[in-house]
Chain A
C-alpha cells in the first residue's frame, strides 16, 4: 500500500449573484488561501450579466499566476439558444478546463474532443455511467450531492475496477445546490416576473431563507436555484474521504467568513482540526445527513460541541 495522496481543496463557483466588487475582493483574497483548485463562472442564471466571460477569464489568469488550477463552470439549466451561445463561448475559451453541468455542455465538449470535469448535476451514480464519461473525456468527477459515504466508497472502488481512475470531488462545505427551475423564486418573492426581475437576487449575497410556518429554516432561494438552508459541513470526514479514494473536497463560497472555513478545512486535512471558534460566523445551521445515508438536512453532530 502506498500512502494515500493528500486531499486537495477546491473552491466551488459562487452560486449567488454578487456585485463586481464583491467578486473581485473575494478572489483577491482567495489567491492566498490554501486551496489548489478554483472553479469560476455563473452556473445559475443567464440574466446575471455583471460578470462577462472575459471578466472570469481575467480573474482566472490572475489566480492561475497565484498557482491555482482554474476551472470554468457551465450553467446547469440550459433553456434557450442564447444560453447555448454563451455555453459555446465557455467551451471555446481556449485556456481553462470546463466543468460540464448539463448534457449540452457534455455534448459540446466531448464533440470537440475537449477534456472536462463532470459536475454533480450530471447524475453519475454508477460505474457504467462513469465508464460513459470516461470515454467522453472526463478528467475529474463530482458525486451527486445526495450520495452517501458508503455508496460513494463503493462507486469509487467499482469505478477503479472498471478502469475509471479519474479523481473524485465531494461537496464538503456550503449550502447544498438541490434544484433548478425555470421560475425565479427571488423575483416571485418580489412579485416580479423573471423577465423583469430587476436583478433583485443581487440584494441577497447568500440567498433568501425559506422557513416553515413554525419558523424552521428549510431551504435557501437563490434565483432559479433552491439550496439547503443549512450548510453541509464534512470537515470531520476528510480522513475518511482520503481513505476511500476521494481526491478533492469542494468548499462552496459563502458571502462572509470563507477564509475561516478554508483555513479550518486546511488544518483538518493536515490532521489538526481546530476547535470551533465561538467568534466565527455560525448564524447558519449545519447539516451532514446525506453523508451518513440519512435525510440531507439531518445533523449528526450536536450543535453545542
Chain B
C-alpha cells in the first residue's frame, strides 16, 4: 500500500519524502484546492522545487485541484490543471465533473484521481467517473463502514485510496454546505470549512467562547482544552441537552485496520493535513512508514505498537482518535 502524505509547503513536502512517504499531495495558493489557508500551499516555483525533490528520490507527487469551478472562474481552474501538468505531476486529484472532463480531453495521459470531494460512495458511482473520465484511482469519503468498503472494493473498477489518519469529516465530503450556510464560504466554492477569517475567541464570565461569524460554536470552562471551532465539532443544544450534537473533536486513526485494508486490495492510505506543520507531517509520516513496513514483512502478525498509537493520539484533535464510520457502532 502506498503512503500518501500531505504537504502545505515545501518544508513539509521534503520532510514527508525524507520520512518515507511514497507520494505527496499539494495544492496551489488559491481557491482551486480544498485546503485554502492563508500562508499555505504552493507557488509555481515552490511546486517545481518540490516535485523535483520528490522525483529525485523516486517518490510521486499529486496535485489537488479539488474545489468546484465557479461560474465566474472557469479559467482559474483549467489554468491550475494545465500548470500542474506542465510541472510534471504524477496525478491530478479532481472532484468537479466539468474539470475532470477538461483534464480527460486536454491531458489524457496524466492520471486522474477522483478526490474525496467527488463524493463517490459506491462502485456504481466509481463506474460513472471511470467510464466518463477514465479515472485511475478514487479517494473514498469517510462515511463508509469497513464492511461497506469491503463490498465496494470487490467491484471497484479503479484503485482505491482511503483516509488513514487526520481530521475527521463526518459528512459525505463534497456534499456538505454547512460552512457556507454560516459563513458564505464552503469547501466546494472556496476550499475552506469554518474559515479562520470568521472565527472569534472571547473570554467571558461564562468561559472562553469560540464563534464562527458570530454563531457560538462552543464555550469552555477553565482548564478545558479548547479546539478550533469547526462548526460540526461544537457543543449545541438539542431538546434540552447540550453536547457534541454532531461530532466530538477527535481524529481518525485506522492503524489497526491496516491488515484488513491490505487484504481488501486498497492501493493507498492517505494522511489528512495540508494545513499542519512540517513537524506534524514528519511525525505522522514516520509512524505510518514504520507501520506499513511492518505490515509488509509480516502481514499476519501485524499489531499496532503502543508507541505508534500514543504518538498519533498526541497529534490528534482533542488528543483522542476514533475509527469513525469504519466502525459500525460509531454511526
A125 touches B122 (CB 8 A): no
List, in ascending order, chain B residues with CB within 8 A of A145's CB: 177
List, in ascending order, chain B residues with CB within 8 A of A213's CB: 216, 218-219, 235-237, 242
In the complex, what distance in Å separates the CA atom of A179 from the CA atom of B95? 17
In the complex, what distance in Å separates the CA atom of A228 from the CA atom of B178? 8
In the complex, what distance in Å separates the CA atom of A221 from the CA atom of B128? 31
A297 touches B330 (CB 8 A): no
Contact (A211, B171) CB under 8 Å given A125-B69, A125-B96, A128-B99 = no
Interface residues of A in 116-147 (CB under 8 A from B): 121, 123-133, 136, 144-147
**Shortest distance in angstroms between B178's beta carbon and chain A's nearest beta carbon?**
5
List, in ascending order, chain A residues with CB within 8 A of B180's CB: 146, 290, 295-296
List, in ascending order, chain B residues with CB within 8 A of A178's CB: 176-178, 181
Cβ-neighbour of A212 out of B178, B181, B236, B247 (below 8 A): B236
Total of A-B residue pairs, C-beta within 8 Å: 226
**Shortest distance in angstroms between B145's beta carbon and chain A's nearest beta carbon?**
7
List, in ascending order, chain A residues with CB within 8 A of B263's CB: none
Residues of chain B at interface, number, CB under 8 A: 68
List, in ascending order, chain B residues with CB within 8 A of A181's CB: 143, 170-172, 246
Is B256 among interface residues, defined by CB-CB distance under 8 A?
no
Cβ-neighbour of A129 out of B97, B124, B144, B218 (below 8 A): B97
Contact (A183, B325) CB under 8 Å given A103-B128, A154-B71 = yes
Cβ-neighbour of A193 out of B97, B102, B331 (below 8 A): B331
Is B227 among interface residues, defined by CB-CB distance under 8 A?
no
In the complex, what distance in Å separates the CA atom of A127 from the CA atom of B69? 10
Cβ-neighbour of A125 out of B71, B184, B236 (below 8 A): B71
A78 touches B72 (CB 8 A): no
Is A70 among interface residues, defined by CB-CB distance under 8 A?
no
B182 touches A179 (CB 8 A): no
Residue of A133, A212, A228, A294 with most partner-chain B CB within 10 A: A212
Residues of chain A at interface, number, CB under 8 A: 74
Which residue of chain B has its CB nearest to the CB of A187? B331
**Which residues of A pack against B, CB within 8 Å?**
76-81, 83-84, 87, 102-104, 106-108, 110-111, 121, 123-133, 136, 144-147, 151-152, 154-155, 158, 176, 178-185, 188-189, 193-195, 208-216, 218-219, 221, 226, 228, 289-290, 293-297
Name the 4 nearest CB pairs between A and B, nearest first. Answer: A128-B98, A129-B98, A107-B128, A103-B125
**Extra 15 A-B pairs, beta carbons < 8 Å, given A136-B132, A178-B177, A296-B182:** A76-B172, A84-B124, A126-B70, A127-B74, A146-B180, A180-B176, A188-B245, A189-B239, A189-B245, A193-B329, A193-B331, A213-B235, A218-B182, A293-B184, A295-B184
**Which residues of B pack against A, CB within 8 Å?**
68-72, 74, 95-99, 101-102, 118-122, 124-125, 127-129, 131-132, 143-145, 148, 151, 170-172, 174-178, 180-184, 186, 188-189, 213, 215-219, 234-239, 241-242, 245-247, 325, 328-331
